[in-house]
A and B are shown apart, each in its own frame.
Chain A
Amino acid sequence: MSQLPDALNEIVEEFTEVPEADRLELLLEYSRELPELPARLADHPELFEQVVECQSPLFLAVEVSAEANNPVGLFFSAPPEAPTTRGFASVLAAGLDGAEAAAILAVPDDMPHQLGLTRALSPLRMRGMTAMLGRIKRQISEQLPA
């Protein structure tokens, strides 16, 4: 069983430790905390990939550093009227931004299901979340030096 990076593991615990009814509230809090894009990316939509599996527009950019162990920068853009999508993007940003490439690639593909939201969110919504992680992992693999 693969290990989650510490920061992401703490977030998963944060979700699973509260009663099911409070988890949506927590996701809403995360949606408010999604970091703004840095100026160097904000005006460059061509640098972003759209996660078309999400029901609301979500764009992500992945930067794999050439430094030792290839730390990864993650950037997300989603409109305020898509709080669920923003919330999950924010969970990934808080849990994985700055982590090493290998650590992110080792995150289980079904990690979104570990947040304990599968009853509250529709299957299509869960699929959007899984796709977000899948696309991040694919971009990392593509960017890593062979």
Chain B
Amino acid sequence: MSLSVESNEKYAAYAHPERLVSTQWVADNLGAENLVVLESDEDILLYSTGHVPGALKIDWHTELNDEVTRDYVDGEGFAQLMAAKGITRESTVVIYGDKSNWWAAYALWVFTLFGHEDVRLMDGGRDKWIAEGRELSTEKPAVTATEYPVIERVDSEIRAFLPEVLKHLGNPLIDVRSAEEYTGERTHMPNYPEEGALRGGHIPTAASVPWAKAAAEDGTFRSRGELEAIYLDGAGLKPGDDVVAYCRIGERSSHTWFVLKHLLGFETVRNYDGSWTEWGNAVGVPIVRGEAAGEMPAQRGARA
């Protein structure tokens, strides 16, 4: 049913090599039965300028997010979306996208909320495919709609909400935003206020590891050894840690979630998708400004 797992030295070192495929693997398997390739970009028009032949577009904003509530689609919505893209519960889904797979990892994380079993990233994403001079197509593939069961979304394992993050304080947190966002330094010009969050800074004790550190220059994931140097030696994570990652709205931290969960093999990793646009606007939650991670607060906020 599922397609073969790619085996090479780099992937074999990862905790879950079955979660990654190379551009070459995709090129070799295009058109294979049971394979659906999806492009997930930050820019909603990018897919239309040319994509991997046969790949379908999935849009994080209009398709994976609920239109009204700040949340993801529900089981019914996900089932309809999958059916319309010709995906069955048994399909091997390979996702790739722009910006070192940042949005592709976000889509993969949402697929995981619904327990879709075989979902993988194409290492290096869209940019690597193009850099290698591989074929691009503007043809919209024909899709035969399928049946996809309504699966209830399971948030508890890989998603953290604000009250859970408050309870989590004292355990490892990774802030994957840029250094300026972490310190709370404002970079905007007068008359152009940043509307995203009322307060700048980070969650007390969070280690700063900008998400893109996990990507090499060609957009592929760094090797296991390099990733361990960044997250274990650098950020101080220890095997077995219970980790929460966050960013601004939960997209960049999906990339880090993927690295920690699937490449380094941390069992318990949650993405706090409320992230800074929730925390930085919430009443009574502790915030630290500046470069230091900060101390564990005595008071964890009004509701903790």
Contact = CB atoms under 8 A, between A and B. Distances in A.
Interface string A82-113: 11110100000000000000000000000000
A38 interface: no
Given A119-B62, A120-B62, A56 B48 contact: no
Most central of B67, B191, B192 by chain A CB within 10 Å: B192
A31 B45 contact: yes
A131 interface: yes
B145 interface: no
B98 A84 contact: no
B43 A138 contact: no
Interface residues of B, number: 17
A81 B98 contact: yes
13 contacts: A28-B48, A52-B188, A55-B42, A81-B43, A81-B49, A83-B45, A83-B48, A83-B49, A84-B43, A85-B43, A120-B44, A127-B195, A134-B192
Interface in A119-138: 119-122, 124-125, 127, 131, 134-135, 138
Q: Could you tell me the dominant secondary structure of chain B's interface residues?
A: loop
- Size bracket, chain A contacts: 20 to 34
B61 interface: yes
A67 B46 CA distance: 40
B195 A56 contact: no
Contacts of B188: 52
Contact of A119 (B42, B45, B67): B67
Contacts of A125: 44
A27 interface: yes
Contacts of A31: 45
Contacts of A83: 43, 45-46, 48-49
A91 B43 CA distance: 17
Interface string B32-50: 0000000000111110110
B43 A27 contact: no
A83 B44 CA distance: 8
A16 to B, nearest CB: 18
Given A28-B48, A121-B61, A56 B192 contact: no
A27 B45 contact: yes
Interface in B8-50: 42-46, 48-49
- Which secondary structure dominates where chain A touches chain B? helix
B191 A84 contact: no
A88 to B, nearest CB: 10
Nearest to B189: A52
Contacts of B61: 120-122
Given A55-B42, A84-B46, A121-B61, 11 more contacts: A24-B45, A52-B188, A55-B43, A56-B43, A83-B43, A83-B45, A84-B43, A120-B62, A124-B196, A134-B192, A138-B191
A81 B44 contact: no
A125 B46 CA distance: 14
Nearest to A131: B192
B195 A28 contact: no
Contacts of B62: 119-120
A63 interface: no
A24 B44 contact: yes
A134 B45 contact: no
A135 B45 CA distance: 24
A134 B193 CA distance: 12
Contacts of B192: 53, 131, 134-135
Contacts of A25: 48
Interface in A47-91: 52-53, 55-56, 80-85, 87
Contacts of B195: 127
Contacts of B187: 52
A106 B51 CA distance: 40
Contacts of B49: 28, 80-81, 83
